[in-house]
Structures are given as structure tokens and as C-alpha cells.
């Protein structure tokens, strides 16, 4: 077991390294640089700035110095937020995205599993159709349509909640963003849960239990729930990374200082070090959560060995 | 219903937290709890006391005046005080300098206010300005604004920014602790007007040198303006509180000023409606008409000294032909553009100089004086002479930034060209950074940009087209034009100066490397309880002039 | 989030979709016809497709002609603006149809690219196996851990001026889920008698893959494709939100929807028209996907 975890960590290093390399060169291929502005700068001035950040050196040398900086934990300065380093910005934005993302995650999983089970129990009745319609609606209606509607209704007309802002994540400030962000994710989980629950309910051991005359709710909770949760596990790892690394749409509309805005602003302004730093973070989180899911799977399913 | 509650109850009762198989759930809950237990200090949701909340469209890149490319200027103007400041009509008013004099327009002497203090209590001295200006010019600083010292002709500034001379050679000196002297390369009658520019704001030497990377943080930051930096949360808010040592502290009425970086106009508008925000950065275009009728007192849309320009790349065919460029410029119906397409108080523009800054007596022969029909007739003639027709239309591409506001006007221009001349125009929106890159490489036919006059003198706008300037990407280089501007700068008398500016305007419109289309408005929503707000010619707003009345 | 949830969904069904005899397709088709929601969706989708193709011919307005006198005009039969106009006075009836063409095209094109690459990649990796498989799947893992948004923004800036190319590019980076699914299926097919029989004849490996493996994973591919298409359409609308969508005066449902979201208090039809069309389409794809899955996976019955 320990050697399995150790090997996963060792395997992650080359994966990350390749990831960094691809990202490093890819963003350099994009036209523009962090220093292009509307006003054309005298070439001497531009040269000075480029020299300051080492952009005058050949690309492979810049790559090497970036990697060696990285090895010492230095993600470099931000070119867009010039008074901050990338590490500092990530350190302030990540907790915000983490808080909102984890809330979304918990809400979606609890609600999604609950609704999925309900739909499966009442398969092909109006309850099932209603739940599934809402789930699909949650998935297909873009959040940049839902979020402004929520703000109009709850903040402008009813005046129950603030129209945006963060304020250290007070619940009033979290409520609407969480709803707007969780709607799609809840829908997905409900759909997956419904599918796997129906499948489990049709299996022999459940039929046997039924034949024995056990009450439905006992069957559901004692026997069906756990196997039905299995397919969810593979989704949850990557999905977790998806929600905790921020959503630019939600952050933009609600004015939340999270990672999504850093990422998109970074990419649009060619803030090379910012984009690379965030790519590394997302990559590392993805690998980590995938590993956690694998380990969890190995616990759940005895057929899987650490081979 | 019974079953639902039961499932729910069992969910909790099942005891699956004891089961190792739900390890991921453990992790989630642990992370969640740790995130929630973050001891956030309680802050009031609604602005309280005399707190003014202003929109700031984007996060300021930096709070260093020497490196600020323009998104954070409101914040800079509140925190720092330059030698002079700008009045609502654009006139120059004393600020850190009480008075100034110059005999030959080449050497300027500024007498600083004796009672001016930095926010840590240090006196504001001439040495501070010497240090700040040298720092601005230095090629080593994180500078992008150092070019400005060169453009206003401070002695040796250009060579210093290019690294050819040391910063100590800059034409600035402290005659004594409160007398600051600037020497120019050539006489300039407009020098004092240019001093309202934000790049020239002073910084506190001991702080900058003591904390080279951290001096713009609230913990260390020291400023000499009416306010000082209290809090800065990236992408969330910047909060300023009064500088207790400010020389005019008794006339600062606000308890704090908060700037919110909100890039979405709709989001900003909603925050304003909810009462979170007192002065917006802009108004969503679709809402403008409705608001002007429903809350006319809150809508501000003054003309500002900025012009929407259409830039023609004269370096390559087919637009290397000045007659063809003129045809394109004439065919745009600016009245339709401002009244129908935009309709938010914009004004047709025919000169590089914003008309609210200087209204020239343009000769009758100038195209601005013709009727639109006449312009279109001439345009068609020039277009045909250049060898194009309905059968053989010109094909053009306009490159413009990918933002919603640009779409309508660029589409309208294309439609006008099609109607008058039959030109087939392809519209290409590019992300701003890519567009700038294309402009720098002259990889475009027609592009759009906004020409900002940053101080109250036509030179500010016209200098963009100088050969030596960083501005013209379209290849406009004309030594006569350069000479005219140099003369204008030296002319002491406003009337004489205006006559020279007019000549430069006429000269430029003969070439038409770019054409002005309309003068922009600065649209803002201002809550009725904000007092002291007045429209400013250049779009400056100083929070120290504002206060909040009981409501 | 979209991509990952999608992956899980398919993985869950991949285990169930056992390869069966010849009659599988006929049975599946019969089952599909019995699924009322799927059939209705098929009809609605057909109607929408017809609309986007034909509607521009039914109107006297052009999609790119601004009318400064009729900006934000509400829907009306008399004026011929059946769906009203947009901020520039352009006819929404025509623009919704044009936008639909782009959105559907983008969805289908992106999916096609993803499906082609994913199927080939997965089948080769799964069938040949060994070190090649390990190497290929490692590559998939790397692509999967790369933030999708980063990829897309960079691609958009590089290919910025050709919108369809962007979607070919997006398709070219969103095939990893497909590849995983096909590989899994191939692994289980590899040991079936009919495939093992090919070894006796000594058929070249590529031929085995194209003749025997690929046809047998098509059902799975079809299901996955119906999930990918709405994903692509939604992704296009996200790009429009960032202002990186299709070039003006051309439009897409995502672009219209984004404009509508800004003006919904002033001109609600600008939101309702594209929203109804896009959401209906995505719903249809969803039901068709469910129908296909149920049809190809008899165990659920």
C-alpha cells in the first residue's frame, strides 16, 4: 500500500514536468507579450524591460531558469499584478476558491445523490421526470444567464441578499454564487446516481432481498446505496479540482476574488508566470485527487490490486 | 414525504463515516471544515458612515505612479498630490506647489507648500520630487511611463530612459528643501499644464528604498495626498482612509473611500442599484436611455477629452494612397454615428484635438465644414479615382478589440462604407493584447483605438502623431508637422498657439493616416447623496472634493 | 467540471455495454423507437435544424444589416421582425437561425474531431497494448491534468481569426475521454472469440482494429458523441462570454445569449429567443443520448 502511494508520487513528477514544459512553450507561441501596450514604446525602453525579466535570452535558457526557480519554490513575479508575486496572489485567491468550491461540492453531492436516489425510486413517474428535467436544465442553462437572473430577483427586487462582493465569504455573499455554480454539478450527480441506482436495484441480490419481503427502505439503505455510489467516485476527484479552482463566469458576475479571474486575466494579458503557476497547481491537484480516488477504489473494490 | 425524511435521516444515521471506504468524503469534510473555520473578521455589508464606494472597472496593475498604465489613476489621484492639480474646467490649480514662475519658459521654479506632509508625518520636500522624477526616468525602474518626461521636454529625459545618460543628469534640482526647479530642453509654454499627469506624482523615498518590493502594500505605503492606503485585496477592493497629516485635512470630509474592481458593466450596475456602490465607472449601453428618463439626476455623461479613432495603415497598399484614406474618412456619417448608433451624448469629431478643449476656426474648405452629402460625393469620386467601383469593390478588414461596446460602432462604419462606396469590410475582433501586437507589427489595414488627451492642451493629443513619438503605428512621419508642434510649444500666447495647432491639424488631415470619428463621453451613475461631484473636462475625479450628505 | 462529469457517466455505462451478437443493432433500434422522449427529441431537433437552414430565406432581412431606426424593437408580425431586433436593429429571427447554424456546426465539428481521434487512439492503445498502451495512456493523463481553459485561450489567440479552426482545435484536445472509453471496450473485445479467430488468419493488426474492433465500439461512440455535442455548444457560449467567440457580424447562440443576458431588463426577447432555442437543442441531445444508452444497454430494462 505504502509503495503504491510512493509510486504514484514518483510517477506524478515526470507528468508534471511534461505538463509544465508544454504549457511554457505553448503560451510563448501566443501572439503578444506582457509588455505590449497601446502606446508603442521606444525600442530601447522595451529592450530594457525585456532584459529586466530575462526575455532577451534564448527561450531554452528562460525555460531552464524558470525550472530552476520552480525547484526552489519560486513561481516568479506577476506581470499583470506588478506589485505581487504569483505565489502571493495564489495564496490569497486559492482559499477563496477553495471555500466556495468546497461548499459547491458538498451541496451538489448531497443534493445530487439525494435527488438521484429519489428519481430512481420513483422511476418513470412524475417525480422522476421533474427531477430529471431540473437536472438537465441545470446542466444546459449557462451560469451567465442564471447568475444575473438570481441577482435581479434576490438582490435587486427582493433585496434579500447582496448583489455581489465577497467580504470574507459571509454566507449571504456565498449563497447566490454557490447556487449558480452548483446547479450544473448537482444535475450531473443526480443523473449518474439515478442511473447507477436503477442498475443496482435490478441486480439479483436486491431481487433476493425483495423476494424475502424486506421493506423497500431497508433494501435501499442497507444494500443498494453503497454499490450505487461506486460510479460517482471516479467523477468526484476531477470534479473536485474543477470546482475548487474557481469559475471565471461566477467570479466575474459576483465580484469574487478567486482563481478563475487570475487565470483568465493572466492568459489574456500574457502573464506567463501567473498562467504557468496556476497550470502547475491545477495539474498537481488533478493528479493528487485522481490518486486519492484510485486508492479509495482499491479499498472499496477488492478485485483491484495495486499492480 | 415520509420516505424522503427517512432517507434523509438514514443518510446521517448510516454511520458511513466509520467506514474507511468513504475516505474521499472524509477528506472533503475535513477540507470544508478547515475552510469554514477561517476566522473572518466581520465587516459591514453596506457602506457605513461617510464611506464613499467607487467603481474602478479593473484591478489596478500597480499603485506605483511610475509604472501605472492607466487603470488605477483615480486611486493614484486620491493618494498622491502632484505639484499641481486640475480644476473642473481643466485649469491648473496649486497643489503641492503653492506657486511657480518661469521667465523664459525653459527653467521653471516651483515653491512647495511648507505645511505639506507625508502620511507618516515627514515633510514633503523638493528632494522628494527630484527623487521621484529621476526614478521615473530611470531605465531601471519598472517604468513604462518614463517616456512622458521626454515628451514634455524635461532636459535629458529621453537619453536617460534610453539608458544613455545616468538619471542624475535629469533637468531637475532642489534649490532648497521647498524649492523645486525643472530645466527643459527647449522653451515650453505648456509645461505647467502637462504636470497634472499621474506619472509625475511623487513617491516617498525612504519607503521605496526601504521596501523595494513591498512599498505599495498597506503596511508600508506612505503617500502625500488627501488619503492613504488602508487595505488592498486583489480583485476585491482597495480602501483608502484620510491622511491625518494632509495639509488640508480639515476639508477632507469622507471617512474612507473604497474602489471596487468590477469589469462587467452589468455587474457594476447591479451593485449600484443594490446600494453597494455610489459612483460607477460606466453605464451598460442598453440601460442608458431608460436611466436617463427614470433617474436623470443620477446619470452623468459629459464629453471627455478622448477621441475614437480609425487608423489606416499607410505603410502598405491599398491604404498607402492618401486619397483613398480620405474617401474612407469622408464616407463615415458621424452624425448618424453619434445620434443613432451611440446616442449617449457623444459628439462628431473632425480634429485630433477634442473640440471641448479647443474649438478651432476651421476654414470652409476643410471637410468638416461640408455637408454629409458633399463628403460622400467627394468620397465616391476619390474612391473611383483610386480604381474601385461597384464591380470591383475594395475589400478591407477592420481589427478592433473584443469588447461589446466596440461592436456596434465598427459594424456601423462597415455598413456606411458599404452603402456609400460599396466596400466589402470584414470585421475581426481580437483580444486586446493580440490587437496591440498586430498594431505594433503594422499587421492591419484598419484598426480602432482611442486617443486620450491627458492634460489640458491640444499638444497632448497632437503629439501622438509626432515622428519621434511612441504613438503613430500607421507610419505617419512628417517633419513639417513636427516643426509646427515644436513651434506651438514655444508660443507663449494662446491665440498664436492655437493658430499653429490648427495648421498642424490641417496638415494631418491632408494625409489622413487616421481619422477622428467622435468624441467620447464619460458615463457614470452618481448617487444623489454624493455632494461636491462635478463633471471634469479631462475626466478627473478627486475624492477629497466629495462628501456624503445624510440620506 | 463538464468534462469530468461526462467522463464518469460514460465510464459507468461502459461497464454495462457488453458486446453481443448481430441482432444487437436491430434490437437496439426497436428499443430506441419505443423511447418516446428520444423520438420526440429527434423530431424537435430535426425541426430546429430545418429552421436554422430555411429561416433566413423566409425573412426579407439580412443578418448583418443594422437598422438604426429599429434598435431593440420587440417582436411583431407587421414589421416582419418575428423575434424582434437586437441592439443594432438587426433581425433576430434571421440571426437566431444563423447563430444556430454556427452553434450546431461547432458542436458537430468539434465532436467529429474528438470522436475520430479518440476512437482511433483508444482502439490502437487497447488492441496493441504493452508499452505502447502505457505510453499512450500516460499522454492522455497529461492532457487530462492540463487546465482545459488554458489550452483553449491559447488556441483562440493563436487561431484567433478562424473560428471553425478553433473548434477543430478544441475537438483535438477533448478526445481523451473518448479514448479512455474506447480503450476499455477494446480490452474486453480483444479476448472475444471472433477477434481471437482473426489471429489464426494472420490479419494485419491495423486491419483487425478497423474491421473488427471499431465497428463493435460504435454504439458506445454514438452515446459519447451525443454527450459531447452539447458540451461543445456550451463551451462555445462560454467563449462568447469571454468575448472570444465567433466574429461579427456572424453570430452564435452563445453570443446572442450573452448579449441577451446584458439586456434582459430592456429587451427580454433578446434573451428568451436564443435561450429557448439553445436549451431546447441541448435538452434534445440529452434525451437522445439517454435513449441511445437505454437502447444499447438492455440491462436497465
Best of A79, A104, A163 to disrupt the B interface (most B CBs within 10 Å) is A163
Answer yes or no: do B438 and A166 touch at CB < 8 A: no
Subunits next to A (3 or more Cβ pairs <8 Å) are B, C
d(CA B433, nearest CA chain A) in Å: 6
How far apart CA B157 and CA B170 sit, in angstroms, is 6
Compute how many other C-beta atoms are within 10 angstroms of the C-beta atom of residue B327.
Answer: 28
Which chain C residue has its CA at the smallest distance from B410's CA?
Answer: C248
- Stretch (H or E) spanning B309: strand B303-312
pLDDT attached to residue B143: 56
d(CA B40, nearest CA chain C) in Å: 29
- Give residue for cell 443518510: B11
How does strand B92-94 pair with strand B299-300? unpaired
Of C88, C157, C267, which has the smallest distance from its Cβ to B408's Cβ? C88
pLDDT over 80 (residue A44): no
Q: With an 8 Å Cβ cutoff, is C12 touching chain B?
A: no
Binding-face residues of C in 45-64 toward B, CB within 8 A: 64
Average model confidence (pLDDT) across chain C: 81
What predicted TM-score, i.e. pTM, was given to this entire model? 0.87
Best of A5, A52, A102 to disrupt the B interface (most B CBs within 10 Å) is A102
| Residues paired with residue B449 on neighbouring β-strands, in sequence order | B309
Q: How many CA atoms lie within 13 A of A120 on its CB side?
A: 29
pLDDT attached to residue B321: 92
Subunits next to C (3 or more Cβ pairs <8 Å) are A, B
Contacts of B42 in chain A (CB under 8 A): 170
Peptide bond into C249 cis (omega under 30): yes
Per-residue HEC secondary structure of C6-48 comes to HHHHHHHHHCCCCCCCCCHHHHHHHHHHHCHHHHHHHHHHHHH
Q: How many CA atoms lie within 13 A of B155 on its CB side?
A: 17
pLDDT attached to residue B246: 95
Edge-to-edge strand ranges of the sheet holding B179-183: B97-101, B107-112, B179-183, B172-176
Q: With an 8 Å Cβ cutoff, is B162 touching chain A?
A: yes
For the segment C23-39, the average pLDDT, to the nearest whole number, is: 80
Compute how many other C-beta atoms are within 10 angstroms of the C-beta atom of residue C203.
Answer: 15
Contacts of C149 in chain A (CB under 8 A): 248, 263-264, 267
Chain centroid offset of residue B477 CA: 25
Q: What is the pLDDT along chain B (551 residues), one digit of tens a residue?
A: 333 333 334 333 333 333 434 444 544 554 554 444 444 333 444 445 789 999 998 888 889 998 877 778 899 999 999 999 999 888 999 999 999 999 999 999 999 999 999 999 999 999 999 999 999 998 876 556 788 898 899 999 989 988 889 999 999 999 999 999 999 999 999 999 999 999 999 999 999 999 988 999 999 999 999 999 999 999 899 999 999 999 999 999 999 999 999 988 889 999 999 999 999 999 988 889 889 999 999 999 999 999 999 999 988 889 999 999 999 999 999 999 999 888 889 999 999 999 999 888 899 889 999 999 999 999 999 999 999 998 899 999 999 987 767 778 898 899 899 999 999 998 888 877 788 878 877 889 999 988 989 899 999 999 888 887 755 567 788 899 999 999 999 998 889 999 999 999 999 999 999 999 999 999 999 999 999 999 999 889 999 999 998 87
Closest to C56 measured CA to CA, from C88, C82, C86, C87: C82
Of A26, A148, A237, which has the smallest distance from its Cβ to C261's Cβ? A148
pLDDT over 50 (residue C300): no
Closest to C246 measured CA to CA, from C258, C233, C255, C238: C255
Q: Which residue blocks in C191-268 are alpha helix, DSSP H?
A: 193-201, 205-208, 214-241, 253-263
Answer yes or no: do A278 and C149 touch at CB < 8 A: no
Cα–Cα–Cα angle for B442, B446, B451, rounded to 5 degrees: 85
For the segment A87-99, the average pLDDT, to the nearest whole number, is: 91
d(CA A83, nearest CA chain B) in Å: 6
Answer yes or no: do A156 and B274 touch at CB < 8 A: yes
How far apart CA C254 and CA B158 sit, in angstroms, is 49
Of B286, B408, B433, which has the smallest distance from its Cβ to C266's Cβ? B286
How far apart CA B522 and CA B507 sit, in angstroms, is 29
Contacts of B276 in chain A (CB under 8 A): 162-165
Which chain B residue has its CA at the smallest distance from C250's CA?
Answer: B427
Contacts of A263 in chain C (CB under 8 A): 147, 149-150
Best of A83, A182, A295 to disrupt the B interface (most B CBs within 10 Å) is A83
Answer yes or no: do B147 and A121 touch at CB < 8 A: no
Which chain A residue has its CA at the smallest distance from B59's CA?
Answer: A81
d(CA C73, nearest CA chain A) in Å: 21
Taking only the tens place, the pLDDT of each residue in C111-133 is: 999 999 999 999 999 888 889 99
Contacts of A184 in chain C (CB under 8 A): 1-2
The more confidently predicted of residues A280 and B111 is B111
d(CA B236, nearest CA chain A) in Å: 5
Contacts of C154 in chain A (CB under 8 A): 26-27, 29-30, 267
Those residues of chain B whose CB sits closer than 8 Å to some CB in chain C are 265-266, 284-287, 290, 336, 340-341, 402-404, 407-408, 410-412, 414-415, 427-431, 433-434
Answer yes or no: do A31 and B437 touch at CB < 8 A: yes
C-alpha cell at A120: 430512481
Between the alpha carbon of residue C5 and those of residues A240, B155, B206, B264, B307, the distances in Å are 10, 64, 55, 29, 49
Q: DSSP states of B253-307 as a string?
A: --SEEEEE----HHHHHHHHHTTS-SB-S---GGGHHHHHHH-GGGEE--EEEEE
Say if CB B98 and CB B126 are below 8 A apart: no
Answer yes or no: do C149 and A248 touch at CB < 8 A: yes
d(CA C34, nearest CA chain A) in Å: 14
Non-local CB neighbours of C154 within 8 Å, separated by 6+ positions:
A26, A27, A29, A30, A267
Which chain C residue has its CA at the smallest distance from B270's CA?
Answer: C262
How far apart CA C166 and CA C239 sit, in angstroms, is 11
d(CA C278, nearest CA chain A) in Å: 8
pLDDT over 50 (residue A59): yes
Cα–Cα–Cα angle for B125, B129, B131, rounded to 5 degrees: 110
The more confidently predicted of residues A281 and C158 is A281
Taking only the tens place, the pLDDT of each residue in A21-34 is: 988 888 888 777 77
- Stretch (H or E) spanning C123: helix C92-128
Of C145, C230, C271, which has the smallest distance from its Cβ to A19's Cβ? C145
Best of A33, A34, A35, A36 to disrupt the B interface (most B CBs within 10 Å) is A36
Contacts of B28 in chain A (CB under 8 A): 102, 105-106, 109, 240
Which chain B residue has its CA at the smallest distance from A159's CA?
Answer: B274
Amino acid at each position: 500500500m505504502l509503495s503504491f502511494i510512493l509510486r504514484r508520487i514518483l510517477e506524478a513528477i515526470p507528468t508534471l514536468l511534461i505538463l509544465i514544459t508544454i504549457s511554457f512553450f505553448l503560451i510563448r507561441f501566443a501572439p503578444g507579450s506582457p509588455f505590449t501596450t497601446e502606446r508603442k514604446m521606444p525600442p530601447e525602453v522595451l529592450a530594457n524591460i525585456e532584459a529586466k525579466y530575462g526575455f532577451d535570452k534564448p527561450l531554452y535558457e528562460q525555460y531552464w531558469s524558470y525550472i530552476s526557480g520552480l525547484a526552489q519554490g519560486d513561481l516568479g513575479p506577476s506581470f499583470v499584478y506588478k506589485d505581487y508575486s504569483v505565489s502571493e496572489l495564489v495564496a490569497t485567491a486559492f482559499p477563496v476558491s477553495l471555500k466556495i468550491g468546497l461548499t459547491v461540492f458538498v451541496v451538489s453531492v448531497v443534493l445530487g445523490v439525494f435527488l438521484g436516489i429519489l428519481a430512481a425510486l420513483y422511476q418513470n413517474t412524475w417525480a422522476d421526470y421533474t427531477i430529471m428535467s431540473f437536472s438537465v436544465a441545470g446542466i444546459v442553462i449557462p451560469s451567465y444567464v442564471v447568475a444575473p437572473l438570481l441577482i435581479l430577483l434576490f438582490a435587486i427586487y427582493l433585496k434579500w441578499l447582496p448583489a455581489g462582493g465577497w467580504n470574507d465569504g459571509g454566507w449571504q455573499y456565498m449563497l447566490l454564487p454557490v447556487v449558480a455554480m452548483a446547479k450544473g454539478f448537482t444535475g450531473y450527480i443526480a443523473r449518474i446516481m439515478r442511473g447507477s441506482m436503477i442498475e443496482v436495484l435490478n441486480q439479483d441480490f436486491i431481487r433476493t432481498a425483495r423476494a424475502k419481503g424486506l421493506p423497500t427502505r431497508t433494501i435501499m439503505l442497507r444494500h443498494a446505496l453503497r454499490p450505487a455510489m461506486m460510479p460517482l467516485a471516479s467523477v468526484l476527484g476531477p470534479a473536485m479540482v474543477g470546482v475548487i479552482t474557481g469559475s471565471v463566469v461566477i467570479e466575474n458576475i459576483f465580484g469574487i476574488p478567486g482563481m478563475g479571474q487570475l487565470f483568465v486575466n493572466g492568459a489574456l494579458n500574457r502573464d506567463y508566470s501567473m498562467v504557468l503557476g496556476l497550470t502547475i497547481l491545477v495539474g498537481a491537484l488533478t493528479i493528487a485527487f485522481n490518486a486519492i480516488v484510485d486508492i479509495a477504489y482499491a479499498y472499496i473494490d477488492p478485485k483491484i490490486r495495486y499492480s | 414525504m415520509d420516505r424522503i425524511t427517512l432517507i434523509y435521516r438514514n443518510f446521517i444515521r448510516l454511520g458511513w463515516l466509520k467506514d474507511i471506504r468513504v475516505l474521499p468524503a472524509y477528506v472533503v469534510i475535513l477540507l470544508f471544515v478547515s475552510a469554514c473555520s477561517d476566522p473572518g473578521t466581520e465587516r459591514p455589508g453596506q457602506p457605513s458612515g461617510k464611506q464613499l464606494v467607487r467603481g474602478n472597472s479593473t484591478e489596478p496593475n500597480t499603485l506605483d505612479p511610475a509604472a501605472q498604465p492607466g487603470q488605477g489613476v483615480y486611486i493614484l489621484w486620491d493618494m498622491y498630490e502632484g505639484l499641481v492639480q486640475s480644476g473642473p474646467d481643466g485649469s491648473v490649480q496649486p497643489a503641492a506647489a503653492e506657486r511657480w514662475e518661469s521667465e523664459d519658459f525653459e527653467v521653471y521654479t516651483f515653491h512647495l507648500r511648507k505645511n505639506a506632509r507625508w502620511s507618516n508625518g515627514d515633510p514633503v520636500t523638493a528632494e522628494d520630487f527630484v527623487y521621484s522624477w529621476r526614478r521615473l526616468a530611470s531605465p531601471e525602474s519598472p517604468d513604462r511611463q518614463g517616456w512622458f518626461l521626454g515628451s514634455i521636454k524635461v532636459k535629458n529625459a529621453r537619453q536617460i530612459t534610453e539608458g544613455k545618460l545616468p538619471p542624475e543628469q535629469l533637468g531637475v534640482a532642489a534649490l532648497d528643501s521647498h524649492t523645486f526647479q525643472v530645466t527643459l530642453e527647449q522653451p515650453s509654454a505648456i509645461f505647467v499644464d502637462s504636470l497634472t499627469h499621474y506619472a509625475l506624482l511623487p513617491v516617498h523615498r525612504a519607503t521605496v528604498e526601504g521596501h523595494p518590493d513591498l512599498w505599495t502594500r498597506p503596511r508600508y505605503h506612505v503617500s502625500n495626498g488627501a488619503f492613504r492606503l488602508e487595505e488592498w485585496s486583489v480583485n476585491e477592493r482597495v480602501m483608502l482612509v484620510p491622511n491625518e497629516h494632509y495639509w488640508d485635512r480639515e476639508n477632507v470630509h469622507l471617512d474612507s473611500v473604497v474602489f471596487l474592481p468590477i469589469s462587467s458593466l452589468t455587474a457594476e450596475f447591479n451593485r449600484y442599484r443594490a446600494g453597494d456602490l455610489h459612483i460607477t465607472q460606466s453605464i451598460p449601453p442598453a440601460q442608458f436611455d431608460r436611466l436617463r428618463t427614470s433617474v436623470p439626476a443620477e446619470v452623468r455623461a459629459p464629453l471627455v477629452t478622448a477621441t475614437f479613432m480609425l487608423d489606416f495603415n499607410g505603410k502598405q497598399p491599398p491604404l498607402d494612397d492618401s486619397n483613398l484614406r480620405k474617401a474612407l474618412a469622408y464616407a463615415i456619417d458621424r452624425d448618424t454615428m453619434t445620434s443613432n448608433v451611440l446616442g449617449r451624448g457623444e459628439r462628431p469629431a473632425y480634429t485630433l484635438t477634442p473640440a471641448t478643449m479647443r474649438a478651432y476656426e476651421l476654414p470652409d474648405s476643410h471637410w468638416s465644414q461640408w455637408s454629409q452629402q458633399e463628403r460622400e460625393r467627394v468620397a465616391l469620386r476619390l474612391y473611383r479615382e483610386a480604381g474601385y467601383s461597384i464591380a470591383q469593390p475594395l475589400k478591407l478588414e477592420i481589427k478592433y478589440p473584443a469588447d461589446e461596446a466596440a461592436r456596434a460602432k465598427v459594424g456601423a462604419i462597415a455598413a456606411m462604407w458599404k452603402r456609400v462606396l460599396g466596400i466589402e469590410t470584414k470585421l475581426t475582433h481580437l483580444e486586446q493584447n493580440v490587437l496591440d501586437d498586430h498594431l505594433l507589427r503594422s499587421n492591419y489595414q484598419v484598426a480602432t483605438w482611442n486617443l486620450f488627451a491627458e492634460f489640458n492642451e491640444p499638444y497632448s493629443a497632437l503629439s501622438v502623431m509626432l515622428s519621434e513619438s511612441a504613438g503613430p503605428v500607421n507610419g505617419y512621419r512628417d517633419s513639417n508637422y513636427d516643426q509646427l508642434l515644436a513651434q506651438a510649444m514655444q508660443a507663449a500666447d494662446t491665440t498664436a498657439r492655437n493658430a499653429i495647432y490648427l495648421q498642424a491639424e490641417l496638415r494631418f488631415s491632408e494625409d489622413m493616416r487616421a481619422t477622428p470619428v467622435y468624441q467620447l463621453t464619460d458615463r457614470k451613475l452618481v448617487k444623489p447623496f454624493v455632494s461636491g461631484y462635478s463633471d471634469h473636462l479631462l475626466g478627473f475625479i478627486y475624492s477629497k472634493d466629495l462628501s456624503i450628505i445624510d440620506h | 467540471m463538464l468534462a469530468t462529469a461526462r467522463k464518469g457517466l460514460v465510464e459507468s455505462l461502459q461497464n454495462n455495454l457488453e458486446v453481443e451478437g448481430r441482432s444487437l443493432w436491430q434490437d437496439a433500434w426497436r428499443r430506441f423507437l419505443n423511447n418516446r422522449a428520444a423520438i420526440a427529441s429527434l423530431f424537435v431537433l430535426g425541426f430546429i435544424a430545418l429552421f436554422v437552414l430555411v429561416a433566413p430565406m423566409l425573412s426579407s432581412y439580412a443578418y448583418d444589416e443594422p437598422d438604426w431606426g429599429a434598435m431593440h424593437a420587440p417582436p411583431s408580425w407587421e414589421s416582419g421582425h418575428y423575434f424582434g431586433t437586437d441592439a443594432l436593429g438587426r433581425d433576430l429571427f434571421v440571426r437566431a437561425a444563423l447563430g444556430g447554424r454556427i452553434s450546431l456546426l461547432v458542436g458537430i465539428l468539434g465532436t467529429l474531431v474528438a470522436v475520430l481521434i479518440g476512437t482511433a487512439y483508444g482502439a490502437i492503445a487497447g488492441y496493441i497494448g504493452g508499452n505502447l498502451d502505457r505510453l499512450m495512456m500516460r499522454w492522455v493523463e497529461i492532457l487530462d491534468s492540463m487546465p482545459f481553459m488554458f489550452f483553449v485561450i491559447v488556441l483562440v489567440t493563436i487561431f484567433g481569426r478562424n473560428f471553425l479552426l478553433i473548434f477543430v482545435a478544441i475537438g483535438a484536445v477533448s478526445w481523451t475521454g473518448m479514448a479512455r472509453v474506447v480503450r476499455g471496450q477494446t480490452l474486453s473485445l480483444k479476448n472475444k472469440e471472433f477477434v481471437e479467430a482473426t489471429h489464426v488468419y494472420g490479419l494485419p493488426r491495423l486491419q483487425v482494429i478497423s474491421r473488427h474492433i471499431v465497428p463493435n465500439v460504435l454504439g458506445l461512440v454514438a452515446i459519447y458523441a451525443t454527450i459531447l455535442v452539447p458540451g461543445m455548444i456550451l463551451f462555445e457560449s462560454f467563449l462568447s462570454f469571454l468575448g472570444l467567440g465567433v466574429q461579427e457580424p456572424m453570430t452564435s447562440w452563445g453570443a446572442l445569449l450573452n448579449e441577451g443576458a446584458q439586456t434582459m431588463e430592456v429587451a427580454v426577447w433578446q434573451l428568451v429567443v436564443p435561450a429557448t432555442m439553445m436549451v431546447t437543442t441541448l435538452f434534445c441531445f440529452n434525451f437522445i443520448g439517454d435513449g441511445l444508452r437505454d437502447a444499447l444497454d438492455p440491462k436497465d430494462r
